[in-house]
Structures are given as C-alpha cells and as structure tokens.
Structure 1
Amino acid sequence: MIRVMLADDQALVRGALAALLDLEQDLQVVAEVARGDEVVPAARAHHPDVALLDVEMPGMDGIAATESLRRDVPGVRVLIVTTFGRPGYLRRALQAGAAGFVVKDTPAKQLADAVRRAHAGLRVVDPGLAADSLVAGDSPLTERESDVLRAARDGSTVAAMARVLFLSEGTIRNHLSAAIGKTGARTRAEAVRIAEGNGWL
C-alpha cells in the first residue's frame, strides 16, 4: 500500500483528489493539509510515501514546501499537482527535489499511475510542459530582482519595498529597472505579470 499525503488550499480539490486516489486498491490517502507550512509536520506525523503538493498555498508555496520536505523528511517523494502548468514552476520544482510535476486536469488513472511511478523512484513530468520548459529556458532574473518583483505585486511604493527588503530606494529602482528590461516589459506591473506567467516568481 502506497501512503499518500495531499496539500492543497482548496478543500473541494483536496477532497476530490482524495476520493479519486482512495478508489485505487494500492493507494491510501493518510493526510490532507491546506497550507504549505503544514506539510512537514503532517509528513512527520503520518509517514506518507508520496506527497502531492499544490504550488500556490498560504503559509508556504509548494516549491518551498518541497525543499523543506526533501530536507526534513527525505524519504517522502514529492509530486507537484497544480493548475498552473508554467515552465518556470516545473524547473523550480525539479530543482527543489520534486519527483514529478503534473497538472490538475490529468485523468484520474494517469494521476494514480504518476503516484506509483514517483513512489518507484521514477521522474514524472507532463510531456507538453517539459517541452515548453526547454523552450522557455531559465529565469533571466537574479534572486534580488525576483524578490523586488514579488514585493511589487501589491503595487507597493519604492519606499515601502525598500523598508520590507532592507535595501535603499535607489537599489530598489535599479533592480526594478533591470527586471523590466529583462522581461521586455514597459512597466513594473507588466514585469510582475510576465514573470508570474512564466513561473519565475
């Protein structure tokens, strides 16, 4: 029996995934959580073999949760299951130690098979997404430029971003300018949209 943990902030999606996987003779859902920062404690408590993590969750995103899980409970294989099939997410998830990456509209039988393959130590990646990832390449943004764009998501002023990131306003402006140039955007709001669309943030 393969023990499975689900992490998704949408209760309906989590419930549907649990119901589908529990129909399989060799799969058992042993834990469900709604936040990324609940993943490691739940894994320690329930000892899953495979964890299915969404990307966008409160507390901690699925990619950061993957890193934490691989570090703190290394025996658990991670499969990212997300609505957001973005090439940058795939690349970042694999770099964080995920065994695979599939989108939520994957048919139930294929998802169950992906869990089995991840458990067996195989890499499981949506083929279309893998091809898109190769074409898209790595993020052109530095870590600092990514931090500044994340801080700009809510329309914060340069002064507010400088306070949050402990940088000078001039440094913030320089990073914003570089990020706008690298994404080919005209404004910082557009740079945020482009970076998010590619899964770079």
Structure 2
Amino acid sequence: MQLSIVVAQADVPADGIAGWATDLIEKVGGPGAGLLIALENLFPPLPSEVILPLTGFTAGQGKITLFEALFWTTLGAVVGAFALYWIGRLIGRERMYWVWERMPLVKVSDLEKTEAWFVKHGTKAVFFGRMVPIFRSLISVPAGVEKMPMHTFLLLTTFGSLIWNTILVMAGYWLGDQWHIVETYVGVLSKIVLVVVVVAVLVYVVARFRGRGGNGASTAKHRAS
C-alpha cells in the first residue's frame, strides 16, 4: 500500500507537511528523509515530530531499512546543524557585540555572562539541546559564534541527534499507521518549551525596565542632593 494512501487513512492531511514529506520519502527513500531533517534544522517550522515518525513508519512498511532511516536522518541533522554553526562563525564575536551594544534593554555584561556560561557548559548545551524542540536548531549558532572546536561540535551533534532521531523513528516504526500520535505529544512539549522561553523573555524585559526606572530615580535623587 502506498504511503500517501496510509497517511490519508490515518486522518493526517495529505496536502500538508506530512503529505509533502510522504511524497519525497516515497520517491527518494532515505536520502529524502535526510534532506527533510536538514531543512528542519534550518527552518524549525518544519516539524521533526512529523518527519521522523513518518520515516520510521516507512521503514516498518519495508520501503527503507531501519539503518537507512537512522543513518540518513542523522546525517541530515548534522548537515543542517553544521550550516547554522558556520552562520554563527561568520557572524563572529565582534559582530555579535556590535549588534548587542545597539539593542535596547540589554547590557554588554549580559552577553559576557552568556559567553562565560557557554564556555563552561557549551558541550552539554549542544548535546542535550539536540533533544529539545526549538533549541535543536538554535543551539548551533552560539556554538559557531564561540568557535567551539569543529570536531567537538560534530561529535556532540551526531550523538545527540542520533538519540533524538532513534526515539522518534522507532516510535513511528512501532506505532505503524498510528505514527502521527507522536506529533501530538512532542507538539505539546514544543509548546511548553516555547511558553517557557516567552515567559523568560518577558520577565527579563520587565526586570530591565524596572531596573532602569530604579536607576533613574536614584540618579535624580543623587543630583538633587
């Protein structure tokens, strides 16, 4: 049975991302899945929680082997992450500081603290970040900006991606034509992460405004005296 027919029977829109991914994997096989995951790294709106389980389901249908599914999706993840890593390196530390100094509500000292944190915890951030929705893509840029050794970045990215890919690909493989269930649960996790990030940014902005207000009041009082 063709994958596109099964996708339609699973109540997943065949004309959406799932339909597009299905067509590509049907025509190209493992390399198609790898290309999709590479693009997912560069364009996070392409959801790995759809592509990876669908790839696992494809393996369960005998269209590709499990080895091919894991190999190509992990290779795609590394290629996509490596592209973002080089974007970070091209931006560079000096340009990052130049932009940061001209942004409102931020201090250079904040960026310096972030750099210090990344130097200390960067390896863990890159490795575990590959398993966290949204951060899967974003974490590659600061690694490039901070010029993390290339071999270290590639090694951490490969193993972190392999773990994430294996979990989602095997879920699709075992769930069969119910593979789309994975999207529901991982989608919830993605929304939680997004909410946490938004709340953290809002708290940061509010704290900055209050800090500026307090500093302004104390400065005015000092001048009056």
Instruction: Point out the structure with the larger helix share.
Output: 2
TM-score, L = length of structure 1: 0.32
Instruction: Point out the structure with the larger strand share.
Output: 1
Q: Which has the higher contact order (CA 8 A, sep 6+)?
A: 2
TM-score, L = length of structure 2: 0.29
Higher CA-based Rg: 2
